[in-house]
């Protein structure tokens, strides 16, 4: 039995609860958007936004490697007490984020066309998705920089900024979306425009906090590192693994939506409701991941095996407890939530038939969600990537062998999470546990 101090439990909880509340606002807003569209007469609006959202996620979540990478680097630099390195790495990541955002805006028409061509949805759903994407794409710079900077704050052991920033921005988003859809009859365009406005509000809030933080951080920038491509080698190495990992994960969701679209607009729309529930689960579980990446990185930077043991123990048990609560929540409230989200009987019935997959998902995927944070803190990004590769291949192969039904689709989709969890757990036992028994730990 590992002896863990009360201080370690308090530290884990202090890092977790702001992320949990902040992250809950994101999928809850998605559920509100789904409910707004789900109560309109035609399911094509919900289907179109589902398509558009899954494609824009390639950009927003695809660039999430900036947040994850910067969090790991920052937590280890903080553990080593190197303020100059913290500032320099932040500036390097900001330059990379700016270049990537500009590239997306320049190539937006090509990206939208390629994405919609891949999904192969009905003409009506594709038209709504195009409307959504043509507006949402302009929020890319705000979303990319906000996500990156929130990763920086996690590395600095400050998760409360996420709660304030995200909560305020999403409340504005909620009001705007309801007003634009019902007040101005903008349907799909209203959802997209309200979201873009709230994204820039979030960026303003997080930049204000960054300014206050940097005022109290000693040291300056290592200017030569900003100009030397060699100085970016470590960032690019970590980022490449994270990018591949996130890209394949998003490909899994896109593949799921593509197969859903092939089964009809009603299946696509009902699965969109269930995916909104899954986002609620993943964002909630990210609280334990954020606490893990902050504390694991700090312990490794300090070369402290005891701190590493405590971080793994407390965040692991918190992840298990959170997964159990979420499973119970959807088992009890899943059906009533469907009635709130949509008034369309067909969608309620179809989503309700496959709700048990959502009930099981916290347990099936919870290990992977937690270990994502652990691996980011330890900078085991190549193994994070390999876990998603294994899971994604499992899903794609299963989709080729299983029949073309909604039930079989959920079986294959779940294999992506199970395979990822199994792979990462095996690496945890082989690579991380030995570090807790060492006399000192070293960054990987």
Q: 247-303 pLDDT, tens per residue?
A: 888 889 889 988 988 888 788 888 888 988 898 888 788 888 888 887 887 888 778
HSE, CB side, 13 Å, CA atoms: give it for residue 258.
15
> Cα separation of 368 and 370, whole Å?
5
As a whole number of angstroms, the distance between CA 271 and CA 412 comes to 14
Helix axes 64-79, 265-302, angle to 10 degrees: 20
Chain position carrying tokens 């593949």? 255
Spatial distance between the Cα atoms of 357 and 346, rounded to a whole number of angstroms: 18
Percent pLDDT > 70 in the chain is 89
pTM: 0.70
What dihedral angle (degrees, nearest 10) is formed by the CA atoms of 260, 265, 267, 271? 70
- Digits of tens for pLDDT over the chain (444 positions)? 567 777 888 888 887 777 677 666 554 555 565 666 655 555 666 667 777 776 777 776 667 778 877 887 888 888 777 788 888 888 888 988 899 889 989 988 888 888 778 766 677 777 877 888 888 889 889 888 988 888 888 888 777 777 777 778 878 887 887 788 777 877 778 888 888 888 898 899 889 988 888 888 877 777 787 777 777 777 777 778 888 888 888 889 889 988 988 888 788 888 888 988 898 888 788 888 888 887 887 888 778 888 888 889 999 999 999 999 999 999 999 888 888 777 778 888 888 899 999 999 999 999 999 999 899 888 888 888 999 999 999 999 999 898 888 899 999 999 999 999 999 999 998 888 887 776 445 444
**DSSP3 helix / strand / coil % (the chain, rounded to 5):** 85, 0, 15
The pLDDT, as a whole number, for residue 443 is 45
Distance, CA of 370 to CA of 319 (rounded, Å): 6
Length reported for the chain: 444
Predicted local confidence at residue 125, as pLDDT? 75
Neighbour-count burial for 36-56, b at 16+ CB within 10 Å, e otherwise:
bbbebeebbbbbbbbbbbbbb
Given a contact cutoff of 8 angstroms between Cβ atoms, the answer to whether 381 and 375 are in contact is yes
Rounded distance, CA 409 to CA 76, Å? Answer: 41
Count CB atoms within 10 A of the CB of residue 84. 15
Helix/strand/coil (H/E/C) assignment for every residue in 181-234: HHHCCCHHHHHHHHHHHHHHHHHHHHHHHHHHHHHCCCCCCCHHHHHCHHHHHH
Q: What residues have CB less than 8 Å from 387, skipping those under 6 apart?
A: 245, 368, 371, 419, 420, 421, 423, 424, 427
Name the token pair of 61.
Answer: 């979540």
Cα–Cα distance measured from residue 408 to residue 302, given in angstroms and rounded to the nearest whole number: 48
């Amino acid at each position: 039995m590992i002896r863990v101090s009360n201080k370690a439990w308090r530290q884990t909880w202090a890092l977790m609860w702001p992320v949990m509340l902040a992250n809950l606002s994101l999928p809850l807003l998605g559920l509100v958007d789904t409910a707004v569209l789900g109560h309109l007469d035609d399911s094509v609006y919900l289907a179109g936004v589902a398509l558009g959202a899954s494609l824009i996620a390639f950009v927003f979540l695809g660039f999430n490697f900036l947040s994850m990478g910067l969090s790991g680097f920052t937590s280890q630099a903080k553990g080593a007490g190197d303020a100059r390195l913290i500032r320099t790495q932040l500036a390097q990541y900001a330059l990379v984020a700016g270049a990537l955002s500009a590239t997306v805006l320049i190539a937006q028409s090509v990206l939208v066309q390629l994405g919609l061509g891949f999904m192969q949805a009905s003409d009506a759903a594709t038209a709504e998705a195009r409307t959504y994407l043509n507006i949402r794409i302009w929020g890319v710079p705000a979303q990319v920089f906000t996500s990156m900077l929130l990763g920086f704050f996690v590395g600095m052991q400050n998760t409360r900024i996420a709660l304030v920033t995200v909560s305020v921005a999403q409340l504005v988003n909620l009001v705007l979306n309801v007003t634009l859809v019902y007040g101005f009859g903008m349907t799909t365009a209203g959802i997209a425009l309200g979201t873009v406005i709230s994204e820039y509000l979030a960026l303003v809030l997080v930049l204000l906090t960054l300014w206050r933080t940097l005022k109290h951080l000693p040291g300056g920038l290592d200017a030569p590192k900003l100009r030397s491509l060699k100085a970016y080698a470590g960032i690019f190495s970590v980022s490449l693994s994270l990018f591949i990992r996130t890209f394949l994960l998003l490909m899994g969701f896109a593949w799921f939506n593509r197969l859903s679209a092939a089964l009809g607009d009603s299946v696509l729309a009902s699965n969109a409701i269930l995916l909104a529930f899954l986002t609620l689960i993943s964002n909630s579980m990210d609280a334990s991941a954020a606490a893990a990446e902050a504390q694991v990185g700090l312990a490794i930077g300090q070369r402290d095996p005891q701190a590493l043991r405590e971080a793994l123990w407390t965040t692991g048990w918190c992840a298990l407890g959170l997964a159990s609560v979420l499973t119970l929540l959807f088992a009890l409230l899943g059906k009533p939530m469907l009635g709130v989200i949509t008034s369309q009987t067909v969608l309620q019935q179809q989503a309700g038939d496959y709700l048990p997959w959502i009930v099981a998902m916290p347990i099936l995927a919870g290990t992977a969600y937690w270990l994502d944070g652990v691996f980011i803190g330890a900078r085991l990004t190549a193994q994070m990537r390999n876990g998603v590769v294994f899971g994604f291949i499992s899903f794609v192969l299963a989709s080729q062998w299983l029949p073309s039904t909604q039930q079989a689709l959920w079986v294959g989709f779940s294999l992506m999470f199970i395979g990822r969890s199994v792979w990462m757990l095996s690496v945890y036992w082989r690579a991380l546990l030995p570090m807790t028994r060492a006399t000192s730990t070293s960054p990987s």
